[in-house]
Amino acid sequence: MSAQLSDSRRPLVVGNWKMHGSHAANEQLLEGLKSAGPLPCEVAVCVPFPYLAQAAERLARSAIAWGAQDCSAHEQGAFTGEVSAPMLADFGCRYAIVGHSERRALHGESDQLVADKAKAALAKGITPIVCVGETLAQREAGETESVVKRQLSAVIHTLAHCAGEMVVAYEPVWAIGTGRTATPEQAQAVHALLRAQLAAATPRAAQMKLLYGGSVKPDNAAQLFGQPDIDGGLIGGASLKAADFVAICRAAANH
Ligand code: PEP
């Protein structure tokens, strides 16, 4: 971390396990992460709901935080299948990913619903990791800026004076799980836009963590994390192998 970065800009690398794992496989993966020793960044894993308790137990007293991959916008009630922020907070959940492109695309989540989920998480002291990003068609149509600004704007307005408390993850949809990573310059350009948008809304913008996600691997992480407005990553596929995830975390020393 460069000397001029405040501690709140210490890089953060988050694993998004998506719908992968089993009790036995998770034991190995979590053990692999714990045995890696000190890492030059904050680290978290966002695991499927049934394995939150396992992560909480295995990561207790370690430097690795854990989180969920979603949370309901509602506190409680007749919402079958949903998991609320109060439930997550009940046993110490630190982060919740909201607005992942898979949820926006496959579950029809709107910008406002994503914003409401972020608000519900924050209300319980859970840091929302708010994902924004354009599809390939939107990028090719020159709409990247308007799409990510629209997505972020809904969250900024809903969180109001708490907007500075979220983590934002720029995840171009065309880079997620495709092996096609944004170049460091492409990613930095969008991160700079997002930080400028945040700066107009909150005095905390310079301290906020903006993560890049989309086919981050051990061999491209250092270049991405070396960009001035990229403060770490949201890692999907490569977070399922302890050695790869640890190597990506180590690349955060380049921030
Ligand atoms: C993700 O799911 O958030 C992600 C970035 O996936 P991958 O790293 O596999 O592209």
- List the domains of the chain with CATH numbers: 11-254 (3.20.20.70)
Instruction: Tell me what the mean pLDDT of segment 199-205 comes to.
Output: 97
Distances, alpha carbon 169 to alpha carbons 3, 28, 54, 57, 175, in Å: 23, 27, 25, 27, 13
Q: What is the pLDDT of residue 9?
A: 83
Residue 232, classed as helix, strand or coil, is: strand
C-alpha span between 40 and 37 (Å, rounded): 10
Q: What is the DSSP letter of 182?
A: P
* pLDDT tens for each residue of 45-84: 999 999 999 999 999 999 999 999 999 999 999 999 999 9
Asked if 75 is an active-site residue, the reply is: no
Give yes or no for residue 234 having a pLDDT over 50.
yes
Instruction: Tell me what the mean pLDDT of segment 229-240 comes to.
Output: 98
> What is the separation of C-alpha 185 from the centre of its chain, rounded to a whole number of angstroms?
20
Instruction: Tell me what the mean pLDDT of segment 169-175 comes to.
Output: 97
Nearest protein CA to atom 3 of ligand 1, as residue: 236
Question: Long-range pairs for 88-91 at CB < 8 Å and ≥24 separation?
Answer: 88/52, 88/121, 88/124, 88/126, 89/124, 89/125, 89/126, 91/52, 91/53, 91/56
Q: Predicted confidence band at 1 (pLDDT cuts at 50, 70, 90)? A: very low
Give yes or no for residue 5 having a pLDDT over 70.
no
Q: Are strands 42-46 and 12-16 parallel, antiparallel or unpaired?
A: parallel
Mean pLDDT for the chain overall: 95
Give yes or no for residue 173 having a pLDDT over 80.
yes
Q: What is the pLDDT of residue 212?
A: 98
C-alpha span between 26 and 20 (Å, rounded): 9
Ligand 1 contacts (CB < 6 A) are 16, 18, 171, 176-177, 213-216, 234-238
For residue 163, give the amino acid letter: A
The H or E element that residue 155 is part of is helix 144-159
Instruction: Tell me what the mean pLDDT of segment 99-116 comes to.
Output: 97
Give yes or no for residue 99 having a pLDDT over 90.
yes
C-alpha span between 56 and 88 (Å, rounded): 11
pTM, entire model = 0.96
35 is written with which tokens?
């045995």
Which residue is catalytic, options 42, 109, 134, 171? Answer: 171
Q: Which residues contact 140 (CB under 8 A, 6 or more apart)?
A: none
Instruction: Tell me what the mean pLDDT of segment 106-125 comes to.
Output: 98
Q: Predicted confidence band at 2 (pLDDT cuts at 50, 70, 90)? A: very low
Q: What is the DSSP letter of 45?
A: E
C-alpha span between 175 and 211 (Å, rounded): 14
Nearest protein CA to atom 6 of ligand 1, as residue: 236
78 C-alpha to center of ligand 1: Å?
Answer: 31
The H or E element that residue 66 is part of is strand 64-68
In the Cβ-directed half-sphere of 114, how many Cα atoms lie within 13 Å? 28
Residue that wins the pLDDT comparison between 11 and 254: 11
Residue 249, classed as helix, strand or coil, is: helix
Give yes or no for residue 222 having a pLDDT over 80.
yes
Q: What is the pLDDT of residue 158?
A: 98
176 C-alpha to center of ligand 1: Å?
Answer: 5
Nearest protein CA to atom 7 of ligand 1, as residue: 236
Asked if 191 is an active-site residue, the reply is: no
Give yes or no for residue 166 having a pLDDT over 70.
yes
Check the CA dihedral 132-238-218-70 and report its sign: positive
